[in-house]
Amino acid sequence: MKIRTKILLYFALPIFLAGGAITFVNGYSNYNTIKSLAEAKFVSDTDAIAAKISRENTRGMAVSKCAASAAEILFGNRPESTRLIRNLLIEFPSFIGGSVGYTVNADFNDSRTDTGLKNLRDGKDAYANGGIDAYELMSNRTSTSIDEWIAKCEGGRYLTYWMRKNDELFIEPLVDMDVSMYSAGLRKKLESGDKESFIVTEPYLYNNKVLMVEYSSPIIYDGKFSGQTAFDTDLSNLSMMLSSLKTLGGEEMFLISSQARIISSTKYDNLKTVSIDDLYTDENGNFIVSFLRDENGQLVRDEKLASKMDFSRAKTVYRDLLKSAFNAAKNSTLIDNSEKKVIYFKDPQTRKSYCVSYALIRPGNWVLVHSIPESVILASVTKYIYGNLAGFILFISIVAAIMVFSKRFLKRVAMATNIAEEISRGNLRMPMPSTANMSNDETGRLVRSMTHMVRKLSAMLRGMKDSEQMLYDTANNIEKASLNYEHSIHGVADSSDSIRSAAKYITDTEEELCKSSETLRDASAETAELAEMGRKNLGAMEGAMSELSKSTVVVARRLSIINERANNINSVITTISKVADETNLLSFNASIEAEKAGAYGVGFAVVAREIGRLAEQTAGATADIETIVRDVQSAVAAGVSEMDKFSEQMSANVADVDVMLSAMDSIITHMQTIVPEIDHLNSEMQSQRENVGRINDAILSLGDNIRRASGLLREVSASRAQLREAVKKIASDMSGFSFDRGDFHGS
């Protein structure tokens, strides 16, 4: 098989297959990785948008809660509460309105408010006849007449609503408080025991004017629901905010309320307030709204119209998609990228595939559904695949170019192969190619080297013929020299045996001395350790005796305290005895008075006798206690005396232990000076032993050298015969070569 074929089979084809496999494996692996990263970024972007909406809701709830807390403090001060809502709307211009409302006569000021409104209608001062200007209508702008205020406030009920119009604030009566979510829904939520003391309403049309959601918090006074504060956000503002968050082409977002209604959509603005269960599209992908009707600003299903619709041909891709994302978000307990997966769906109108992600917005329990064309999210993946294919094609092109340019190279290799085959046959007279026009690469140098090799082989063979006789002469000379060398080796071997015997005797003697010195050193070291251990034990005994002496002092001190307390008990006993005597005397006097009282004092006489008996028992118990205390004092005094004697004895024992410790320190010091001397002696003997060992090693080495010399001599003898055989073989091998006897001249 030619080299070119082998290169194709063993080089080009494996590289092609390996490159293709590596490209495919890396491409597939990196495709999944890049796709996962792109999906993770998309999910992260969804969470970031949801977080921004969540911050808006959190801010709305925070403002509503703060307003409710302030309204509870200002409860009953209606003008101040009115100013509170107005000031908050000035501070937070993103809200289109704010309100505060009380339940009927919650602060018992409904009649005064009604009187104030009627005073204003009649051109009087609002505060005349006990009235109040709850809404400060004398200074605040309003587009509602006084008669309308009187009618809508229902007998003076406090209902304040501030609305923003053209960046100006106008006050008007709050409507539908008893039926709307911001109040009735909030009250129902609190009564159900829900822990969240706020509500984010569903999107609805307020007063047939503005489609909005409200952030409402309760006013709790005297432990009961007394009203609420609420702040409004226009749905058009939410739509504009969602649109401003779009950064990629084809990106769309749906904001869904907690009751599965569309709050805002960047794709279809006319879907606001529609339930996701009513999202149907026709064959062209357009949403079907003919079965929906407007009810208080919300698009709801009209059952009569819906019964006439044929929904079997309608598409539900958006309904199913949003419902699936809504349920997944509602059921999730962990809002984490690792817990959410991108959903893929195909738009029935555009026939494009989309990636969908979702996120739960905690304040309000809204759900954000985020979609983007699959081609956009996978753009980086597609770019990577094209790059891999381009690299693989370039790699194959390079391999093909190498194979084309290798043809001339392989031709010169074949020429060198032919020359080598002729040399292997022993033909050194073959015609050689001209090297004048050879290239300077490896193949050209190879052909020139083969030409020079043929010349040198011819010259070498001529030289080998001349050297043949010289080798025979050299073999004879080696044989004579080896005989003389053998006699010298035998003499050196005899001398080395005598020296080795003497060195062995010295080594044995040194070894016995080393063992004796090591035994002495170990005994000294053990004695020093035992002395040190005894010293440590005496030190521990001294510490224990010191602690015992200190404890003895403490016990004596505490016995003194007990004796002192016993003396105090004596004084208390004396006092109790006096009280018992006085009580006995009092009992006696009471008995006399009871006798004087006759029949009326019988009961009192019984009490007097019992008191007297109790006084006698107290006197007896006091005497017993006094006896016990005297016994305790005697025992404590004896204990104090014994403890003093024991303390003096312990002090004497501690002094004796100190003397023993000093003596033990001297013994340890002497033992510690002996051990280094023994170590020094042992070290010197070990050093001398090592020197003798070196002598012995040198003698052994000399013996080894003598044996090796003998072996070399035998090898030389064997080599003489081999040399003769080699000379004969060289002559035989040279007979197979055909070369010129004179100077070699190649063509």
**If you write DSSP's letter for every residue of 7-32 in order, what string do you get?**
HIIIIIHHHHHHHHHHHHHHHHHHHH
Q: What is the DSSP letter of 185?
A: I
Q: What is the DSSP letter of 105?
A: T
pLDDT of residue 66: 94
Question: 609 vs 395, 591, 597, 614, 619, CA distance in Å?
Answer: 127, 7, 15, 9, 15
Domains present along the chain, CATH in parentheses: 444-733 (1.10.287.950)
| φ/ψ of residue 644, rounded to 5 | -65, -45
What is the spatial distance between Cα 52 and Cα 42, in angstroms, rounded to a whole number?
15
Show Cβ contacts of residue 509 under 8 Å, excluding neighbours closer than 6 positions.
none
Show Cβ contacts of residue 314 under 8 Å, excluding neighbours closer than 6 positions.
280, 281, 282, 288
The residue written with tokens 């293709």 in the block is 20
pLDDT of residue 655 exceeding 60: yes
| φ/ψ of residue 348, rounded to 5 | -65, -20
- Give which of 438, 434, 455 is closest to 446, Cα–Cα: 438
Two tokens at 355? 């990636």
**CB 322, CB 329: distance < 8 Å:** no
pLDDT of residue 743: 42
What average pLDDT score do residues 441-459 get? 70
pLDDT digits 0-9 by tens, 121-159: 999 999 999 999 999 998 899 989 999 999 999 899 999
- Give which of 420, 641, 670, 710 is closest to 531, Cα–Cα: 670
Question: 125 vs 131, 133, 538, CA distance in Å?
Answer: 9, 9, 106
pLDDT of residue 231: 94
Instruction: Give Dmax over CA atoms of the chain in angstroms.
Output: 180
pLDDT of residue 420: 72
What average pLDDT score do residues 39-67 get? 88
The residue written with tokens 């044995």 in the block is 508
pLDDT of residue 216: 93
Q: Which residue has the higher pLDDT, 72 or 251?
A: 72
| Collapsed DSSP state (helix, strand, coil) of residue 288 | coil
Which range has the top average pLDDT, 195-199, 228-232, 545-549?
Answer: 228-232
Cα-trace Rg, the chain: 59
Express the helix, strand and coil content of the chain in percent, nearest 5 each: 65, 10, 20
Which range has the top average pLDDT, 88-97, 232-241, 376-385, 600-609?
Answer: 88-97
Two tokens at 557? 């001190």
What is the spatial distance between Cα 365 and Cα 396, in angstroms, rounded to a whole number?
58
pLDDT of residue 747: 35
- Give which of 277, 327, 325 is closest to 300, Cα–Cα: 277
pLDDT of residue 524: 64
pLDDT of residue 456: 73
**CB 237, CB 255: distance < 8 Å:** no
Question: 29 vs 33, 387, 394, 614, 692, CA distance in Å?
Answer: 6, 15, 21, 102, 73
Q: What's the distance, Cα to Cα, between the start and end of the chain in Å?
A: 31
Total Cβ atoms within 10 A of residue 412: 19
What is the spatial distance between Cα 256 and Cα 302, in angstroms, rounded to a whole number?
21
pLDDT digits 0-9 by tens, 351-364: 778 888 888 888 87
Two tokens at 271? 């879907």
- Banded pLDDT at 630 (limits 50, 70, 90): confident
Interior angle at CA 122, CA 117 and CA 127, nearest 5: 50
pLDDT digits 0-9 by tens, 111-125: 999 999 999 999 999
Q: Tell me what the pLDDT averaged over the chain comes to.
A: 76
For 281-424, where are the alpha helices, taking DSSP H only? 303-307, 317-331, 374-377, 379-424
What average pLDDT score do residues 200-209 get? 75
pLDDT of residue 624: 75
pLDDT digits 0-9 by tens, 8-52: 666 666 766 776 676 666 666 677 777 778 888 888 888 888 888
Q: What is the DSSP letter of 337?
A: G
pLDDT of residue 488: 63
- Secondary structure, 3-state, 628-682: HHHHHHHHHHHHHHHHHHHHHHHHHHHHHHHHHHHHHHHHHHHHHHHHHHHHHHH
Q: What percent of the chain has pLDDT over 90?
A: 15
Answer yes or no: pTM beyond 0.85.
Answer: no
pLDDT digits 0-9 by tens, 567-579: 777 777 777 777 7
Of 45-49, 172-176, 263-267, give the lowest mean pLDDT range. 263-267
| Collapsed DSSP state (helix, strand, coil) of residue 356 | strand
Count how many residues are written for the chain.
747
What is the spatial distance between Cα 445 and Cα 424, in angstroms, rounded to a whole number?
20
- Give which of 268, 460, 233 is closest to 366, Cα–Cα: 233
- Banded pLDDT at 437 (limits 50, 70, 90): low
What average pLDDT score do residues 648-654 get? 72
Burial status of residue 532 (CB atoms within 10 A of its CB: 0-12, 13-18, 19 or more): middle
pLDDT of residue 492: 59
pLDDT of residue 337 exceeding 60: no
Question: 569 vs 518, 536, 560, 615, 629, CA distance in Å?
Answer: 76, 49, 14, 19, 7
pLDDT of residue 159: 94
Q: What is the DSSP letter of 247?
A: -
Burial status of residue 388 (CB atoms within 10 A of its CB: 0-12, 13-18, 19 or more): middle
Question: 677 vs 525, 666, 680, 684, CA distance in Å?
Answer: 12, 18, 5, 11
Two tokens at 61? 């709830």
